[in-house]
Structures are given as structure tokens and as C-alpha cells.
Structure 1
């Protein structure tokens, strides 16, 4: 299915299951299919209405050729457009990697029922060095535009989160693990819970579903 976002961009999404709505947000280099391929849709669909979508510039969603197309405001508007079209007022967001960062951005501005964040942290994520390295490391023009847009994304801190949230990573997700270790106490004081999984790397945070699912499901049903 497709919806039109605030700037008339065409955003692809899919919906399955029954129950409270949970929207799953993929990472920078992927699309919505990673949630099906990793087994999360089958895991959730009996208890939740599961919505997956392609971030703008990814999968079947519209591709833009200027940096402003990939602003955080447009990304958040894409989510709101889906929720409004489906008449969902009390959603749960579950984001991985860049999707996790988008989840923190959304939860800092809008009221959510709950949020699950994995593979990211708070504070300065997109440093100038990080962005320059990302741009230099790809010949994909669209990806370069998406990376440049990150310069303008605001910094989010734990105290800005407007809902209960679970944030998790693995001990092999090097920089994320290090940052969340430092931020752990502050997160707990600000409506959050942190979980670390031994010997799980960045991709394993969603592909190693059997290892992480109990904490995720328990949080969702708590």
C-alpha cells in the first residue's frame, strides 16, 4: 500500500495481524523486508497489528534527489501520515539502527504508548567525521544525499522521551554498547530500561530474534 506524506512523497507500507499497533522501522541500508526475513512479523502478528514501511529513499518508497527531502521532519511526517491514514492514536514504535534513532526523534515530539530502540544511543550520533566517512564510503548518490541530510538532525537526550521505552544492544555492537553503558543510569532515570545481550552484533539485534525476543515481548506486554 502507498500513502502520500506531507510533501506529497509516496511512502510504501504493509500491515498484518490483529491487536495494538506496532510500527517497525528499518535501518539505513535496508528496507521493510528485513522484519519479515528476520521473523519478527510472524513473532508479533498474533498479538499486534504490525506495520512495516520503507523509509523515503528506500525500497518501494519515493526517492528524492536533494538533501532536504531526507530531513528528520519529513521522516517523522511519513510515520504520522501512516498512523493518521490507519486511524491509529496510540502506537508502539520499534526501530533498529537508523530506525532506532528515528524512533527516539519521534518519541521526543509525539506521545507514544511505548517505544523499543535498538542499535543506537542518545546524544551526538551523526558527527561530522561519521557523515564524511559514510559519504566517502559509498558511490550511491541517493545514500550520499541521505547522509548529508543527517547534519541537520537534532540531538536527542533521554529526558526528551515522552513514553516508556526499552533500549537494547549487544556487547559486539562496539560504539553503541560503549555509549549506552555510559548513558545507562541517565536512561533509567528517564523512563527507560537498558538491556545488553552478550556477543550480539549490530545486525544480530534483530536477526538473532530468539536471543532477544523474550525481553522485547515482555516489555510490549507489560
Structure 2
């Protein structure tokens, strides 16, 4: 149980942030659809070739990617969704067991629902793990794969990630985190949760000024509960998985973007590049786990250039 709790903390690989003012975008769909037995929230914007965007977590939602990614809606159709049990999608049913296979089938059902073929698949952090599992099962549907600040390809890196996170926190911050994590309302009170996240996510940035601009305001009580439920649900998977041996099966062009200050070791993404046949790795200097926020011009230029090739 202690290991599962530690894993749940490690799995906070994303955070909802609002730093960019929204440009005028064309909204094609904004609502829920019955997907694979669950109510899944989807939002489709822009026009052009489709990019299916998979957010991170587990337990978060698409919101933190939406505003920065509107930059791509000028040239592409973007399909965002909240994974089951996350954001505006339906919560887990009592005693429901959701596996990685479930998430893969949800993604496939969304692709079919929106009639997407030859799609660009973009997964950020935990979303990249889902994307990898998806393409290993449905390679014929993906034109190009974008692994954006991806989680490692194996659970072997989790202890190192936890060590890195702790090394970037002061003793005072660690003490505050411990107290907040032990508060009885941490899983139900958005204010307590926000205070916890504000400290917990500091190590994810190279530039500390970004940590003062984060917006956790859309974490209401139901989203907080969903966050913890998802973290617990997928902790067993994240403590015991290894995708590296199968990455050689991926044949489509693949892009990896990684910050040199990411909590994810560079070794983890270098191994991905080595195993995937047609893979381009870009390590961006002076960036943490959110290159799309710390260096958006470089980030979206790389994505556009990769798709254009």
C-alpha cells in the first residue's frame, strides 16, 4: 500500500496551467459522447488534418493543454478529450476496474466517433504512455506519432523520478507537503488540494517564475476526487510495466520532445529513440516537463516542421 501511495504521487506528471490568452478558434464540437460505455467529454477545434491529443495524469484533464495548443488550430483540426474518470467525463462507477486496455479502446472509439483516418496522435506525459499502447494495437490508424514530454517507457525509472522530485524540494516544502497530504480533506477540498499541488509541482519547471502563474481553479471537489481515484486505479500499472521491448514494432515517423530539466531522465527518452525505427528526439535546453509553456515557440515550431516532413 505504501508503494502504491508513492506511485500515486509520482504519477502527478501533469498540472493544469493557464498562461496563454485564447485566440479566436473555430469550435466544431464541445460536449459529451457515449464512448465505450462511458460519458466522455470531447472538444474539437480548428480545421485541417486531424491531431488527436491525449492528456496526461492519470486523473487530470485536457484543460492544461487546450490554450497553448490553440496555436496549432490555425492549421489543424485538434480533437481533445478527458479520459474516463477525469475532468468533465463520467466518474468511475463503484467497484469499476479500468485498465490500460480500457483507455486504449476509449481512444479507438473516439477515433471512430469522429471518423478520423490517418490521424496524427499526440500524447503528453502519461498521455504518451496511452498513445504508445494504442499504436502498438492499432498501428494502421496513425500517420505520425508525437511523444511530448513522455513518461518513461518502463516503471524502472519511477524510483529515480521520485528521487529527482524530492531533491528539488526544500525541507520546508517537504514538511508542508507531508502536512497537506495528511489532512483529512485533501481528497475532497479543492483549496487543500491546490495548496498541495502548488508545492508538489515546483520541481517540474526549470524557470521558477512559471510556478507562480499556475491556475488550479477548475479543480472542483468532483475533479479532486477523480484525480485521486485515477491515480490509485493506475498505480499498479505504473509500478509494473515495460514498453521498451515492443517499441521496435512502431514503424510510423515519431517525434519526441523532452526538456533537459524534466523530472523524466533523458536516458528514458534516449532509449525510446533507440528502439523506435524512425524517431526524431529533440532535447530542449533549460526546460522542465512543460516545454510547451517554457519555450512554446520552439515547441510548436518543432511539431509543425515534423508534421510537414
TM-score band, normalised by the shorter chain? Answer: 0.7 to 0.9
Tell whether 2:128 aligns with 1:40.
Answer: no
Distance in 1 (CA, whole Å) between partners of 2:88 and 2:48 is: 26
Distance in 2 (CA, whole Å) between partners of 1:125 and 1:206 is: 25
Tell whether 2:234 aligns with 1:146.
Answer: yes
Distance in 2 (CA, whole Å) between partners of 1:128 and 1:220 is: 31
Asked if structure 1 preserves the Cα contact closer than 8 Å seen for 2:43 and 2:81, the reply is yes
SS in 1 for 2:264: helix
Aligned to 1:54: 82
Distance in 1 (CA, whole Å) between partners of 2:156 and 2:89 is: 24
Tell me how far 1:160 sits from its aligned partner.
2.3
Aligned counterparts, 1:205-220, within 5 A: 205-208=291-294, 209-220=296-307
Asked if structure 1 preserves the Cα contact closer than 8 Å seen for 2:155 and 2:239, the reply is no
Distance in 1 (CA, whole Å) between partners of 2:131 and 2:268 is: 18
- Normalised to the residue count of structure 2, the TM-score between the two structures is 0.61
Tell me how far 1:122 sits from its aligned partner.
5.4
SS in 2 for 1:75: helix
Asked if structure 2 preserves the Cα contact closer than 8 Å seen for 1:66 and 1:145, the reply is no
Aligned counterparts, 1:98-117, within 5 A: 98-110=126-138, 111=140, 112-117=142-147
Asked if structure 1 preserves the Cα contact closer than 8 Å seen for 2:136 and 2:250, the reply is yes
Distance in 2 (CA, whole Å) between partners of 1:193 and 1:121 is: 16
Aligned to 1:95: 123
Q: Which runs of 5+ in 1 are unaligned?
A: none
Aligned to 2:39: 10
Tell me how far 1:149 sits from its aligned partner.
4.6
Aligned to 1:181: 270
Distance in 2 (CA, whole Å) between partners of 1:166 and 1:57 is: 28
- Normalised to the residue count of structure 1, the TM-score between the two structures is 0.83
Distance in 1 (CA, whole Å) between partners of 2:114 and 2:125 is: 25
Which structure's CA Rg is the greater one? Answer: 2
**Count of residues in Structure 1 that have an aligned counterpart in Structure 2:** 212
Q: Which runs of 5+ in 2 are unaligned?
A: 1-30, 164-177, 188-227
SS in 1 for 2:233: helix
C-alpha offsets along residues 50-71 of structure 1, whole Å, 9 cap, x if unaligned? 11010112101122154622x1
